[in-house]
Structure 1
Amino acid sequence: MELINCKECGRMFGSEHGELYCSKCRVNDDADFKKVREYLYDNPGATVQEVAEDTGVSETLIIKFLKQERIEIIEDGNAILSCERCSKSIKTGRYCEVCKAEIKKELAQAAKSLKESKAPKAKYHSHNK
């Protein structure tokens, strides 16, 4: 178990599986997400501002849920989320599908290259008699 500070509140807690948030913040986050999800179920197409005003959940947290792909914007060409790599408008997450595919390909190539560079090199001996 590793002791880390909660990314949200700063309190120290024991993280066993790479969690970034303490249990209290995770519970609060889950409760806020549930409010947003239920609101959107009853009000599809609501704006971030409307959701924030009617649920009491901050716009920042709603945008965090969008970036985590927990919720999605309905309309195309929105001005709320854009790909962090190419700036194309997206409905959820941090990257558009094209950039996701390119990043995946680049990571696979980097992993392959790293694996090859760490592979033991063959040793050769001269057998001159």
Structure 2
Amino acid sequence: MDLQNCPKCDSLYVKNKFRDVCEKCWKEEEQAYDLVSKFMRKRENRAATILQVVEATGVSEDLILKFIKAGKFQLTQFPNFGYPCDKCGSIIREGRLCVSCASSLKADLKTVEYEEQRKKELAKRATFFTHRD
């Protein structure tokens, strides 16, 4: 059992893998989700951006992003929905990193891997001499 303080209201609750807030705040989040969901179900609102949804519903951008990351919205149905890349903040629709940041990270990993391999090869070729009288 993992007791924690709710990050929203600071009340004590039992944290589990399904909820990261207390029961009261979770219910508030579910009401906010219902509000956003009803708004987005209307055909004329499906192309809305997150900022337009914030203005129309009053639900915070952070909470809407939380819903998107949790998979509560199918992004294929909402072409202007996305969330920020964990590294640079550009808007993405899948994963945690944009293509540019992912490519950069892969290149950095290849460089480190190459350098470590090179160090191992140099260590194998090293010759050690001892002095004997």
Tell me which interval the TM-score lies in, with the shorter structure as reference length. 0.5 to 0.7
TM-score of the pair, normalised by structure 1? 0.58
Report the structure, 1 or 2, having the larger helix content: 2
Answer whether contact 1:9 1:25 (CA < 8 A) is retained: yes
Match of 2:79 in 1: 74
Amino acid at match of 2:69: K
Q: Distance in 1 between matches of 2:98 and 2:72?
A: 15
Runs of 4+ in 1 over 6 A off after TM superposition: none
**C-alpha distance after superposition, 1:57-115 (max 9, x if no partner):** 1122212222333223514xx8x634325766422563459x5xx9xxxxxxxxxxxxx
Please tell me whether residue 10 in structure 1 is matched to residue 15 in structure 2.
no
Q: CA RMSD in A?
A: 3.1
- Aligned residue-pair number: 98
Structure with larger Rg: 2
| 93 and 63 in structure 1: CA distance in 2 versus 1, 3 angstrom threshold | farther
| 10 and 89 in structure 1: CA distance in 2 versus 1, 3 angstrom threshold | same
Identical counterparts, % of pairs: 32
**C-alpha distance after superposition, 1:21-61 (max 9, x if no partner):** 11011111111011111111111111222211221211222
Structure 2, gaps ≥5 residues long: 106-133
